[in-house]
């Protein structure tokens, strides 16, 4: 792992004096290269500025971004949700689509590099705010908790995609440049511990009515997901029940309002970096008359919806171009003058389907069904009976998750992997092999840090 202090520290210090669209800019006279870490964290305004820059990084470059480098696109095309038309991006996105990626894949390298940049940024904030004498204890806890949550989320995606990865809480280049991998099971344990700490630091209430900053329940949902991956069913169940029963969140029965910013079913969303800009998702998937050159929904995904499924009607746009039908993802529709769509990262429907999956895994069939059926009935579908077996119910939940969350933050990949079902892609992905459950570690990283070896199996 190659992390250079000077470059990233400069970015952090710049962040302290240049806020994202969510904040007002501060006027500061000293040059960035003369600002010390102590100055950045000497006041809550500058510390919040650094934190805001981390949120902006998530919107623009992270796996949580809705753009071309985000998990919605990359993991959607890696599984069976999307077709990729980026034939000029071989050894990048197109090879991920074909499941022919190699260790020199440029998109894989950028995913790795951006993730560890974000981890570094979070570590600077965490380490800086803990020793600040100019920030109140309450603000220290909030800033620390949010940064810890964001770092945990990055680690969760990294270990889900790559398996064993380096885990660091340090900002010391001499330490980070030669880290060995930590086994995936241990990384998950560390993430769980970090999220438990983050949840204790955060409040259920939001510090912004638009819900653009993480709160305790956001952290608890990701914590429950990690616990489920570790088969800690009862602990995860308690967290998920606490979310679905919390009066802060209100079920949205109107499917056409799912992606509107004011919905009380939203746990956390990312605001476009400039006012009235479209979401990255709207821009990435949009096409109308020309043959698409990015992504379309796969024929298999479209065929999985029945004709009376309201999601098929509202979220998918069939377009006939040159005598061929292409399916456009239409969840976000404002490509210009956007005032009411932000990129939703976590919404209540996820808590419902996670809780249904959790209860099904515990053989609590009758308890699981209402949460699955709520999602189905919102889509205009009939509820399922309580005669299903455990495995039938889990399969139904996985299929429902695919139809509910297509193009959203790689949910298809994460759900299949958590349930040990990634090899179910074999009938739909010509080149899929069992070792494709992990991506290769970037070859350039193994070159500069031999302690990352061995390479992942199959590569």
The answer to whether residue 325 sits within a structural domain is: yes
Q: Is residue 276 part of a domain?
A: yes
Residue-level pLDDT at 1: 56
So what's the pLDDT on residue 33?
Answer: 41
Note whether residue 148 is domain-resident: no
**Tens digit of pLDDT at every position of the chain (459 positions):** 544 443 444 444 344 334 333 433 333 333 344 445 667 898 999 999 999 999 999 999 999 999 999 999 999 999 999 999 987 778 999 999 999 999 999 999 999 999 999 999 999 999 999 999 999 999 999 999 999 999 999 999 999 999 999 999 999 988 999 999 999 999 999 999 999 999 999 999 999 999 999 999 999 999 999 999 999 999 999 999 999 999 999 999 999 999 999 999 999 999 999 999 999 999 999 999 999 999 999 999 999 999 999 999 999 999 999 999 999 999 999 999 999 999 999 999 999 999 999 999 999 999 999 999 999 999 999 999 999 999 999 999 999 999 999 999 999 999 999 999 999 999 999 999 999 999 999 999 999 999 999 999 999
The verdict on residue 330 lying in a domain is yes
Q: Confirm if 162 and 456 have CB atoms less than 8 A apart.
A: yes
Q: Rounded to whole angstroms, what are the CA distances from 172 to 10, 177, 253?
A: 15, 9, 49
Residue 277: exposure state from Cβ atoms within 10 A (0-12, 13-18, ≥19): middle
Look at residue 37 in the predicted model and tell me its pLDDT.
Answer: 61
In a domain, 102, yes or no: no
Nearest to 96 by CA among 116, 79, 121: 79
Q: Residue 313 sits in which domain range?
A: 272-341
309 lies in a domain? Answer: yes
Is the separation of the CB atoms in 219 and 239 below 8 Å?
A: no
Q: Give dist(CA 353, CA 350) in Å, integer.
A: 5
Cβ 45 vs Cβ 79: under 8 Å: no
Q: Which parts of 206-288 are beta strand (E)? A: 266-270
**Would you say residue 315 lies in a domain?**
yes
d(CA 305, CA 457): 35
Give the pLDDT score at 31. 39
Cis peptide before 439 (omega within 30 of 0): no
Distance CA 290, CA 293 (A): 9
Q: Is residue 96 part of a domain?
A: no
Structure tokens at 313: 């009607």
pLDDT at site 12: 43
Number of domains the chain is built from:
1
């Amino acid at each position: 792992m190659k992390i250079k202090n000077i470059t990233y520290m400069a970015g952090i210090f710049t962040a302290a004096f240049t806020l994202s669209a969510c904040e007002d800019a501060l006027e500061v006279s000293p040059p960035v290269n003369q600002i010390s870490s102590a100055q950045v964290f000497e006041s809550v305004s500058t510390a919040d500025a650094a934190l805001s820059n981390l949120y902006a990084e998530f919107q623009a470059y992270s796996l949580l971004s809705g753009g071309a480098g985000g998990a919605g696109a990359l993991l959607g095309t890696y599984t069976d949700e999307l077709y990729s038309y980026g034939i000029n991006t071989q050894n990048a996105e197109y090879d991920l689509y074909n499941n022919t990626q190699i260790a020199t894949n440029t998109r894989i390298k950028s995913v790795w590099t951006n993730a560890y940049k974000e981890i570094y940024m979070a570590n600077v904030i965490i380490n800086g705010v803990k020793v600040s004498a100019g920030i109140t204890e309450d603000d220290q806890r909030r800033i620390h908790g949010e940064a810890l949550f964001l770092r945990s989320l990055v680690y969760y995606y990294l270990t889900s995609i790559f398996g064993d990865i380096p885990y660091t809480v340090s900002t010391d280049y001499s330490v980070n440049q030669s880290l060995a991998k930590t086994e995936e099971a241990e990384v998950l344990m560390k993430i769980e511990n970090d999220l438990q700490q983050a949840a204790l630091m955060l409040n259920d209430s939001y510090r912004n009515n638009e819900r653009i900053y993480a709160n305790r329940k956001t952290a608890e949902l990701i914590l429950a997901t990690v616990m489920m991956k570790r088969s800690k069913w009862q602990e995860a169940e308690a967290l998920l029940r606490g979310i679905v029963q919390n009066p802060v969140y209100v079920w949205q029965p109107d499917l056409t309002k799912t992606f509107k910013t004011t919905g009380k079913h939203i746990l956390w969303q990312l605001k476009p970096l400039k006012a009235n800009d479209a979401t990255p998702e709207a821009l990435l998937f949009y096409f109308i008359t020309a043959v698409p050159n990015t992504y379309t929904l796969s024929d298999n995904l479209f065929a999985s919806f029945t004709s009376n499924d309201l999601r098929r009607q509202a979220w998918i746009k069939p377009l006939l171009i040159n005598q061929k039908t292409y399916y456009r993802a239409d969840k976000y529709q404002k490509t210009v003058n956007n005032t009411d769509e932000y990129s939703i990262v976590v919404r209540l429907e996820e808590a419902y389907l996670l809780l249904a999956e959790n209860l099904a895994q515990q053989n609590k069939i009758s308890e699981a069904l209402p949460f699955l059926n709520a999602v189905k009935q919102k889509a205009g579908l009939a509820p399922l009976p309580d005669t299903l077996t455990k495995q039938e119910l889990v399969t139904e939940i996985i299929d429902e998750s695919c139809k509910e969350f297509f193009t959203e933050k790689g949910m298809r990949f994460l759900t299949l992997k958590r349930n040990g079902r990634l090899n179910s892609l074999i009938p739909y992905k010509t080149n899929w092999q069992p070792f494709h459950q992990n991506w290769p570690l970037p070859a350039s990283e193994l070159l500069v840090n031999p302690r990352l070896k061995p390479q992942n199996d199959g590569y």
